[in-house]
Amino acid sequence: MNPGPPSSTERLSPAARIDALRAEIARLDHHYYVLDQPLLPDAEYDRLYSELLALEAAHPDLITPDSPSQRVAGAPAPAFAAVVHDHAMRSLNNAFTNEAVLAFDRRCREALGADTLAYLAEPKFDGVAVSLLFEEGRFVRGATRGDGTQGEDITANLRTIRSIPLRLNGSDHPRRIEIRGEVLMFRADFERLNASQLEHGLKPFMNPRNAAAGSLRQLDASVTAKRPLRFFVYGVGDDDALPELATQSALIERLAHWGFPAARERAVVSGPDGLAAYYTRMATMRPGLPFAIDGVVFKVNARALQRELGYVARAPRYAIAYKFAPEEDITRLLDIEVQVGRTGALTPVARLEPVRVGGVTVTNATLHNEDEIRRKGLLIGDWVIVRRAGDVIPEVFAPLPERRRGDERAFVMPGFCPVCGSRVERAAGLAIARCTGGLYCPAQRKQATLHFASRRAMDIEGLGDKLVDQLVDRGHVQTVADLYRLTAATLAGLERMGDKSAARLLAAIDRARRRPLDRFIFALGIPQVGEATARDLAHQFGRIEALMAADAEVLQQIPDVGPAVAASIVNFFAEPHNRDVIAQLHAAGVRGEAPPARAGGHLSGKSFVLTGTLAHHGRAEAGALIQAAGGKISNTVSAKTDYLVAGEEPGTKLAKAKSLGVTVIGENELLEMLRKEADG
């Protein structure tokens, strides 16, 4: 449900409701057209306007000259000179369903006595309508639509738009002509502009149209000149101009010949089937277009028939805008809940009052992280703008602070996992908060099991995604320690698990009781602890119990272990659930033993970094050989690195090693060094 004007629609007489709607629409018009501060999405504005039209149609005696229905909208800003249009700049009537478009076609045919009509179909640009006056082929004045009769003189700003010709091509143009079109901003240009706004500490624009409108009304034209604005033509002000051109499509072709950009996607279509097919085609193309459109426009193509159909007070009878389902709307942010992902990441999710956006009903939207909620200034209970484009996940774009009642509340990220109760940590410099119960948390169970069994960890051959899904879903594996309690009888009840397959898997699990300590540490899935760090920890502490007892200060004595990694390790082992699982693994015979380093070996004290693909050994295997010979493996190149072992496609580490003067060797040279160690 979406709100109307501040007053409730219940218990109001038609006259009171009309007054309330007029006041609200006037307020919205002022913010949009004068202050460049749109308060609502188009869909919400359209609903209010449609309600007003319906009430006035039902009660024509209540229509007054100052009603928004009797004029387009807006008023010129006092900072710009007023311009009276030679011909009124009318709006278009809107259709939101195929039935409404069919009714439009039927009205036109019946009024003209025609069986079938041809229409010029064009995308409806989501931009700002402007009027361009040319005299003797030269651009002399540009103006906003304003209230349709009187606009604002923005000539200096429009002259900065390179897609607007300052002089018309050719010589087949009248002495004086008013060109109508749309100023807009391409999506990519809009993203770059907003990035620049944020970089300079400025407020980002709400959408490309808002950015275009704000750019056009800059008092300093040099600011407008820096904005990536574009212009597309869609007609002329005087219906009687260029009488030799019989159709709207021919008129657009002439304007394009004079140098105006026109929509390449335009087409001439016939009858209801042609109208529907064009709408479908543009709806399909919409996500891939470089500019935003919010619908399509159909105009009777024959200009003589246009003149015969004429106008109603606000819009031409010969044209209609068939609008897409809104890609943004407003609704209530009912609550913010936290979901725990497979890797332990906590993601806040907005629970919304159901709203139709982009053709689907939206009830949930991701909020990414706690910092994003703070940046947007969202409070639980807010009215918010929700956006959805194509198949993109719905986004809560911004709150509407002016609608707050005082009972809204701030969101606070929980200190304990909502799934398992383990403590939540957020490493310094990172936006994501994580559950520390990686070995225990049900939300992380499948991912933790797959990582534990992976080739570079405990290497349990045959334990893949589908089998883990079955084991977890059927309750056979609550933690990774349960893998070592599996039996042939348990496995026999699983899909595609025969006696031989079960025997092979149990043998692989049994072998995994005796993996080296570094692989056991890596298998635990401690955040920010990769293979290289796990090797360093194994060689430093020798036993998992010693590592579990180490504090942050001791951990930071190890090369490449900084404050963030040390804190992650300490927090992981401080979580009772993780310690319980490790105790269960110990009971199952899984302890991990560090590979003995050969004291005083040929490579003792030497630091190696491995990069690229090695021909004879995997990097993990080569690293183990180096460590067995007394050498040290690091994951990063520094001035303290003695050797960089470079395989194929070595990446950036090679360039860094060369810049630091580090000795670079190949795999063959490494093997020769290891052979010397063995011979010695």
5-64: pLDDT as tens digits: 444 445 688 899 998 998 888 788 767 755 657 788 877 888 898 899 889 889 888 888
Instruction: Specify if 410 maps to a domain.
Output: no
Residues 188 and 261 in one domain: yes
Helix (H) or strand (E) holding 668: helix 667-679
Helix (H) or strand (E) holding 536: helix 531-541
Q: Which has the higher per-residue pLDDT, 623 or 320?
A: 320
Least confident range from 107-111, 284-288, 479-483: namely 284-288
Q: State the average pLDDT for the chain.
A: 87
User: Which among 124, 299, 632, 653 is annotated as catalytic?
Assistant: 124
pLDDT tier, 2 (very low <50, low <70, confident <90, very high otherwise): very low
Amino acid occupying residue 565: V
Query: What are 417's two structure tokens?
Result: 């996992």
Q: Please state, in angstroms and rounded to a whole number, the distance separating the CA atoms of residues 263 and 452.
A: 56
Strand pairing class (643-646; 663-665): parallel
Using CA atoms, how far residue 425 sits from 377, 415, 677, in Å, is 23, 8, 45
Residues 575 and 522 in one domain: yes
At which residue do the structure tokens 């007053």 appear? 7
At which residue do the structure tokens 């080739």 appear? 455
520-572: pLDDT as tens digits: 999 999 988 988 889 889 888 888 998 999 998 889 878 778 888 898 899 99
Helix (H) or strand (E) holding 328: strand 328-340
Q: Please state, in angstroms and rounded to a whole number, the distance separating the CA atoms of residues 115 and 500.
A: 76
Nearest CA to 536 among 670, 615, 468, 634?
A: 634
At 377 the pLDDT is: 93
Instruction: Specify if 178 maps to a domain.
Output: yes
**Domain's final residue, options 323, 350, 374:** 323
Contacts of 221 (CB under 8 A, 6+ apart): 156, 157, 159, 160
At 314 the pLDDT is: 76
Residues 662 and 550 in one domain: no
Nearest CA to 610 among 648, 639, 555?
A: 648
Least confident range from 113-122, 160-169, 233-242, 470-479: namely 160-169
Query: Mean pLDDT, to the nearest integer, of 165-194?
Result: 91
Q: Please state, in angstroms and rounded to a whole number, the distance separating the CA atoms of residues 87 and 97.
A: 30
Instruction: Specify if 515 maps to a domain.
Output: yes
- Domain of 345: which CATH number? 2.40.50.140
Query: What are 158's two structure tokens?
Result: 């429009």
The answer to whether 185 and 227 are in contact (CB under 8 A) is yes
Instruction: Specify if 364 maps to a domain.
Output: yes
Using CA atoms, how far residue 91 sits from 30, 102, 312, in Å, is 17, 20, 10
Q: Please state, in angstroms and rounded to a whole number, the distance separating the CA atoms of residues 83 and 150.
A: 5
**Domain's final residue, options 295, 323, 351:** 323
Task: Name residue 94's beta-bridge partners.
Answer: 321
Query: Mean pLDDT, to the nearest integer, of 399-405?
Result: 92
**Domain's final residue, options 30, 48, 70:** 70
Query: What are 251's two structure tokens?
Result: 């008129």
* pLDDT beyond 70 at 350: yes
Query: What are 539's two structure tokens?
Result: 């060689």
- Domain of 616: which CATH number? 3.40.50.10190
Residues 104 and 57 in one domain: no
At 655 the pLDDT is: 87
Residues 280 and 345 in one domain: no
Residues 64 and 129 in one domain: no
> How remote is the C-alpha of 361 from its chain's centroid?
18
* pLDDT beyond 90 at 593: no
Helices (H) then strands (E): counts for the chain: 24, 22
pLDDT tier, 470 (very low <50, low <70, confident <90, very high otherwise): very high
Residues 153 and 259 in one domain: yes
Residues 337 and 385 in one domain: yes
Instruction: Specify if 58 maps to a domain.
Output: yes
- Domain of 41: which CATH number? 1.10.287.610
Residues 58 and 107 in one domain: no
Residue 375: DSSP 8-state: H
Instruction: Specify if 418 maps to a domain.
Output: no
Contacts of 509 (CB under 8 A, 6+ apart): 460, 463, 483, 484, 486
Within 13 Å of residue 181, how many CA atoms lie on the same side as its CB?
A: 25
Which of 299-308, 522-531, 609-618 has the highest mean predicted lDDT (pLDDT)? 299-308
Instruction: Specify if 417 maps to a domain.
Output: no
Residues 317 and 438 in one domain: no
At 169 the pLDDT is: 86
SS3 call for 153: strand
- Domain of 156: which CATH number? 3.30.470.30
Q: What percent of the chain has pLDDT over 70?
A: 92
- Domain of 473: which CATH number? 1.10.150.20
At which residue do the structure tokens 């003589």 appear? 304
pLDDT tier, 368 (very low <50, low <70, confident <90, very high otherwise): confident
pLDDT tier, 403 (very low <50, low <70, confident <90, very high otherwise): very high
Domain total in the chain:
5
Q: Please state, in angstroms and rounded to a whole number, the distance separating the CA atoms of residues 189 and 177.
A: 31
pLDDT tier, 678 (very low <50, low <70, confident <90, very high otherwise): low
Instruction: Specify if 9 maps to a domain.
Output: no
At which residue do the structure tokens 């300093």 appear? 220
Domain residues for the domain of 373 are 328-403
Query: Mean pLDDT, to the nearest integer, of 642-646?
Result: 92
Q: Which has the higher per-residue pLDDT, 633 or 397?
A: 397
Contacts of 455 (CB under 8 A, 6+ apart): none
Residues 337 and 312 in one domain: no
124-153: pLDDT as tens digits: 998 999 999 999 999 999 999 988 888 899
Amino acid occupying residue 524: L
How many residues can be counted in the chain? 680
124 is catalytic: yes
Residues 577 and 628 in one domain: no
